Chain A
Amino acid sequence: MCNAVGIVNLRRDSIEGIGEYRPLGATSFMGRYRLVDFVLSNFSNSNINEINVFIKDKPRSLIDHIGEGRQYNINTKSGGIRLLGMENRLPNEAYNTDINAFTDNMRYITESKKDYVIIAPCNYIYTMNFEDLLAAHVESGAEVTVAYKAVEDAKDNFLGCECLSLNTKKDVIAFDYNRGNSHERNVSLETYVMKIDVFQKLVKEAKETSMFYRFQDILHDRVDHLEIKGYPFKGYVACVNSLQSYYNSSMWLKKPEIIRNFVDKKWPIYTSTSDSAPTVYGQDAIIEDSAIANGCIIKGTVINSVIGRAVTIEEGAVVKDCVVMAESYIGKGTHIEHAVIDKLVKVVHKTTIKSNSSEPLYIKKFDIV
């Protein structure tokens, strides 16, 4: 067993539209997953079996999805996944920080017999062995280690993400956020490892500094006083923090040569089953370059798209460059391009929906078009 407790942190990020209906972690992704599956599978595959998932708003879909957590291959008696809410929510959102959520639940983290804590976000998609991360942290003797990825496309990608400035010894000397000003950046994966008592101390200090402080703020404040190391991650990373990045990541991961770096027999990504039958394709279906989940009935045309579970696409319908979430219905004679269609949408009228800008169009959950 890995000597660490896992924390899936609250996020400030929200995806336009999609975020109205569910916490970020419960957002459906690549047809059959939810975003949180990737971080939970990383914990599970890294032999971390004490996992705390923080939830702030609209918990229903995330509670439904995670449940007891058995699907993540975690034995529920020797460990488990705990869903932790914010005990003292205030009407002013600025108060509802991760620090306040940690404070409310600190005893459930400190009561663990593990020595370390690994905090990871639910909206960075990567597969990392946290045992290696922890080993590097212990080896370096640093107080905090932050995983990062050196990228060359930061002008268009990873916008708004935390970034690191490092010296040659990989010490973090400054933090900032990616404003898209340069191509090459060390993008933080907002994945931190430290001793539980260091974590506890930082949370306390944040609370004493400002009621509005988040965990990142106190780290940024203390960058000159704490020994913070960067841990270079060489694998593939996608970050979902906006509708555009959700769309782009979906299209990127759709490619078989990419998704195979995330989903692998030796590093499975667990999710909860919906017990759907295989997908059935009709006589006149035309399918190109698409990732399709189970349970669909496809009679029309699907090109360059990601299709969620139990979606129906009727004959004559054309779905191109789209992300369609579970149980939506695309009726006869419709033509949809460059859209993100939320769950349980019914496109029943003969319509053409095309986004006329670079931004994908978003169609709300339950909408009838």
Chain B
Amino acid sequence: MRNESMLAMILAGGRGTRLESLTRSIAKPAVYYGGKYRIIDFPLSNCANSGIDVVGVLTQYESILLNSYCAGGQKWGIDGKDSGVFILPPRETTAGFGVYRGTADAITQNIDFIDQYEPEYVLILSGDHIYKMDYSKMLAAHRKNEADVTIAVLEVPMKEASRFGIMNTDENNKIYEFQEKPAEPKSNLASMGVYIFNWQLLKRELLRDKDIETSEHDFGKNIIPKLLDDGKRLFAYQFRGYWKDVGTIDSLWEANMDLLGEEPVLNLHDPEWKIYTEDVNTSPQYVGKKATICNAYINQGAMIEGEVRNSVIYTNASVGEEAVVRDSVVMPDAVIGRGAKVTRAIIAPGVVIGDNEVIGDADSETILLVSNETRGVK
């Protein structure tokens, strides 16, 4: 590592069960988002843009795709001589086959990896959040506060606060209390699952926690409360901006809709903070003679002959003549046949919607996921 002595570890083992068939055979961080990205492109691009040189990616559930996707780090330009993105699945040791028993345990099992770089700080991230954040500013606050731990927090609506880990802080942002999903929250500062730890302190704590049988080896449940009890200096760092944990089909759809509009809630066109991803070789998108496009987000390789309204169309997807796609998300290589109507739906990668088929309903409360699995297509 070069200047800033901070290494990042991305927890990317999440199953994302509530994303249904989208995560049947890939981990949640590998799910497609926003026309061309996978969710993990966001923390990785944030690392690249924050000047972090070494990133470990901790994979576990359905890790094959994620492992090959992240390997090398070239896609995000984290590929200099002393840099890299390193895939860290559980390994076999003399004690047997490893499994990551919790978020903290995943780091414990890779203490040797981190020690190679002798970092002063370790940044812990989640691989399944969509946001743009400069971690170097968070590190500056961590240093200024002479903190042991800094936790990024986001203001959430008070009525939703009980879904999150809530930080109660004093006027200097010092955390005096942490409540995991409190029934009656005292504040609305929710943890984003983004932590900076002084490495030596975290390492001691992890080694201590590792052998405690009652521990779930989890940052939120075990490590953070223990450090707070021990009187360590924990600070909140308030993040202002877009942040989304896409846990469900509805929230994945919402996150896509957040890209639309004149002043989108999430703007990915900022040349100062690009989100990097795999470069797919396709021709430019083509919009045909009879097409109508209104308020849409469309990626290269897409072929639009019909009508697209309030929708996100991914790489190489196509919309046939007289088809209408409204309030929907059409993932890579999906085909919307001639005259088909798709409303309030997510069409999974590679799904073929037949001519004149009608999918979804403008009045439905929830978003319909259409995948080859839901359609019984192999």
Give A contacts to B, CB under 8 Å. 30-32, 70-71, 254, 256, 259-260, 262-263, 268-271, 273, 275-285, 287-295, 297, 299, 302, 306, 310
Contact = CB atoms under 8 A, between A and B. Distances in A.
Given A277-B35, A288-B291, A32 B300 contact: yes
Given A268-B281, A287-B291, A295-B269, A279 B286 contact: no
Q: Say which size band chain B's interface belongs to.
A: 35 or more
A269 B259 contact: no
A282 B284 CA distance: 19
A275 B269 contact: no
Nearest to B318: A256
A195 B19 CA distance: 58
A280 B284 contact: no
Nearest to A277: B268
A71 B75 CA distance: 11
Interface string B254-283: 000001101010001101001111010111
A277 B269 contact: yes
Interface string B283-308: 11111110101111111100100000
A278 B299 contact: yes
Contacts of B268: 277-278
Given A277-B35, A277-B268, A279-B298, A291 B286 contact: yes
Contacts of B312: 278
Contacts of B294: 281, 283-285
Nearest to A299: B262
A278 B284 contact: no
Given A32-B300, A281-B294, A285-B294, 13 more contacts: A256-B303, A260-B283, A263-B283, A269-B283, A276-B269, A278-B35, A280-B297, A281-B295, A281-B297, A285-B293, A291-B283, A294-B299, A297-B269
Residue of A70, A273, A293, A302 with most partner-chain B CB within 10 A: A273
A270 B283 contact: no
Give chain B's interface secondary structure class: loop
B298 A281 contact: yes
B285 A279 contact: yes
A312 to B, nearest CB: 9
B262 A282 contact: yes
B285 A291 contact: yes
A94 B287 CA distance: 45
A32 B299 CA distance: 12
Nearest to A32: B284
B326 interface: no
A283 B284 contact: no
Contacts of A295: 269
A283 B293 contact: no
B34 interface: yes
B36 interface: yes
Contacts of A270: 281
A275 B287 CA distance: 21
Nearest to A284: B294
A278 B36 contact: yes
Contacts of B313: 278
Contacts of A287: 287, 291, 293
A306 B284 CA distance: 9
Residue of B260, B287, B291, B303 with most partner-chain A CB within 10 A: B287
A293 B294 CA distance: 17
Interface in B73-113: 74
A164 to B, nearest CB: 31
